[in-house]
Amino acid sequence: MKIMKFGGTSVGKPERMRQIAQLITADKEPVMVVLSALSGTTNALVEISHRLAASDKEGASEKIAILEKHYQNFIHDLLQEATLLAMANEVLNEHFEFLRITQKISLSDALNKDILAQGELMSTKLFSLFLEQSKIDHALLPALDFMSLDQNEEPDLVLIQEKLNGVLANHPNKNIFVTQGYICRNAKGEVDNLKRGGSDYTASLIAAAVKATVCEIWTDIDGMHNNDPRVVDKTVAIEQLSFDEAAELAYFGAKILHPTCIWPAQQENIPVKLLNTMEPKAPGTVIMKEAGTVGVKAVAAKDDIIAVKIKSTRMLLAYGFLRKIFEVFEKYKTSIDMITTSEVAVSVSIDNDMHLNEIITELSNIASVEVEKNQTIVSIVGNEIAKTDAVLNKLFQAINEVPITMVSYGGSPHNISLLIPSEHKTKTLQLINKGLFNL
């Protein structure tokens, strides 16, 4: 079986859904189609939730009405057969009625997650009706029946595999399956999600669970580019990446992939292909065990980073001191991205400020603490990059004028990371494009 995941823009217009139907029937291999919500929907649902949280019921209902109109237009373009159009109408009524009811009850975390789940539920149901109209035999599998999180809010791959195999066994004669990306159930059985962009993660988890031949991520660009195309004018697609390289790029901000979506495919050694729905013949990027070539491949940037600088003239090198520092971050479930040390100080970077005040208070008991907000991690990723000729020289020459908060080199053979004030991000990515990629 192969997995084909289509993102928001790939399902966002009726003509795109028609094109997807062609792509998924192009060969005989059984396929699991994972769909995102139509583009813009999850953002709209987040906004509806925000308005409800702010007791702005009128604002929420206005947003719901606009979204409903969009979906009404969508189904009228997508479906021509009267019975199927009537069924699509019922689907929309059910989901928009749910959204309207949320305005009458108090918003909880669980209800918020239910609201966010509506996009993927609608896109898959509408696509399934379109497949029916096109006489394409398939089964729609509710992701909520098998996509499970454990007590730590992490995907439970063993349970997912067990449940999904059970679900698939109910459809022995089907070749095409359609399911929702992003949504899942948590350990309490409530509707939850895999965080923004999580449909990629769903695809990779399913790929690992069914031991797929390939996990294809279909999006609006022809693969992983060497730099962020939203920020830099001239970027090029990368032919091949190792799992480790792709994981670093995703984690450090390459938006084309969900930050943690590589590990399931990597665990089962399943190649991941990044392909362009708008240009299906383009080779895209293949992510596999082997890196292909040696050297620098790409740069990515992750915003909203906080640098925490911890200084202790007396105790830093006393053994056990670093442990005490890390224990504070562990206690508040705050993971550290970058770390640098000197004789008297240690600096770390974090991307989550939920418990920043508590962390500072506790650290202040053992050291002096300084915090710098609005930072960006710029990660240069490649194969054996640290051994690449003159890479540091070229890098620092290229970004000579940029102030650097932290540098991390040697932690991984695939990565050199810099922490810079976010206001310098655009310029830094552009300078690196010239200096390291000659673009």
**For residues 242 and 286, is the Cβ–Cβ distance under 8 A?**
no
- The minimum distance between CB 253 and Mg ion, in angstroms, equals 13
Contact flag: residue 225 with ligand ADP (CB under 6 A) = yes
Which of 8, 264, 284, 382 touches ligand ASP by CB under 6 A?
Answer: 8
Token pair of 204 as six digits: 């990779």
Answer for which of 12, 14, 119, 264 binds ligand ASP (CB under 6 A) is 119
- Pattern 281-310, binding to ligand ADP, x per CB under 6 A? -----------------x-x----------
Give the residue, chosen from 199, 240, 376, 433, that forms a contact with ligand ASP under the rule CB under 6 A. 199
CB of 9 to ligand ASP, least distance (A): 10
C-beta of 115 vs 385, nearer to ligand ASP: 115
Residues 115, 117, 119, 121, Cα dihedral to 10°: -130
| Cβ–Cβ under 8 Å, residues 242 and 300 | no
CB of 171 to Mg ion, least distance (A): 28
Residue from 42, 49, 242, 433 binding ligand ASP (CB under 6 A): 42
Each residue 140-179 as x (binds Mg ion by CB under 5 A) or -, in order, gives ----------------------------------------
CB 432 within 8 A of CB 397: no
Select from 197, 198, 284, 382 the one that contacts Mg ion (CB under 5 A).
197
Instruction: Identify residues 12-41 at the interface with ligand ASP (CB under 6 A).
Output: 36-37
Sign of the Cα torsion 63, 69, 72, 76 reads: negative
Total binding residues for Mg ion by CB under 5 A?
Answer: 2
Task: Return the residue matching tokens 């040697």.
Answer: 410
As a whole number of angstroms, the distance between CA 193 and CA 304 comes to 22
Q: Half-sphere exposure of 415 toward its Cβ, with a 13 Å CA cutoff? A: 23
Residue type, 71: Y
DSSP notation for 31-89: EEEEE-PPTTHHHHHHHHHHHHHTT-HHHHHHHHHHHHHHHHHHHHHH--SHHHHHHHH
The residue ranges that bind ligand ADP (CB under 6 A) are 7-10, 36, 197, 219-221, 224-225, 228-230, 254-256, 298, 300
Binding site for Mg ion (CB under 5 A): 7, 197
